[in-house]
Structures are given as structure tokens and as C-alpha cells.
């Protein structure tokens, strides 16, 4: 398997894990807050931005890992 492809797949895996972990952590926080305040479950603007930021970072990981693997081991 080419080194750059291997790096991209590793970056993709890390990005997916990071995004899923962040989503579930925020979802749990929102559910706890809504139960405490007796309100409807919904994310506020800051939490939506946080998920968007993590998602964008996760999309940059595969090319970055591919480049890094190619430079180091290619």
C-alpha cells in the first residue's frame, strides 16, 4: 500500500473518531442542560460552531497525514 494512502486512511480514522467523540460529548451536555433547565433539547450557537470546527479539522486530517507520511517515509 502506498505510504501516502496509508497516512490518509489513518488520518481519516482519527478524524472520524474525533468527530464522533465530540458529537456525543456535546449531545450529552445538551441533554443534561435541557433536563436541568426543563427546556427543549437544542444546541446553542456556540455548540454548533464547536461541532463545525471539529468537523472542518477532521476533514483536514487525511491530507495532512498523507503529506506527513509521504515526507517522512516516502
Residue 34 is predicted with a pLDDT of 94
Per-residue pLDDT tens digits of the chain, which is 74 residues long = 899 999 999 999 999 999 999 999 999 999 999 999 999 999 999 999 999 999 999 999 999 999 999 999 98
HSE-up (13 A, CA, CB side) for residue 42: 4
How large is the greatest C-alpha to C-alpha distance in the chain, in angstroms? Answer: 56
Cell of 17: 473518531
> Which structural domain, as residue segments, surrounds residue 58?
3-73
Q: How many domains does the chain have?
A: 1
Residue 74 is predicted with a pLDDT of 83
Residue 60 is predicted with a pLDDT of 97
Amino acid at each position: 500500500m502506498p505510504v501516502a494512502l496509508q497516512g490518509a486512511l489513518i488520518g481519516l480514522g482519527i478524524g472520524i473518531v474525533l468527530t464522533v467523540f465530540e458529537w456525543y460529548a456535546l449531545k450529552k451536555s445538551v441533554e443534561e442542560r435541557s433536563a436541568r433547565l426543563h427546556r427543549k433539547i437544542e444546541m446553542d450557537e456556540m455548540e454548533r460552531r464547536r461541532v463545525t470546527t471539529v468537523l472542518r479539522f477532521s476533514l483536514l486530517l487525511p491530507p495532512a497525514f498523507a503529506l506527513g507520511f509521504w515526507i517522512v517515509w516516502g
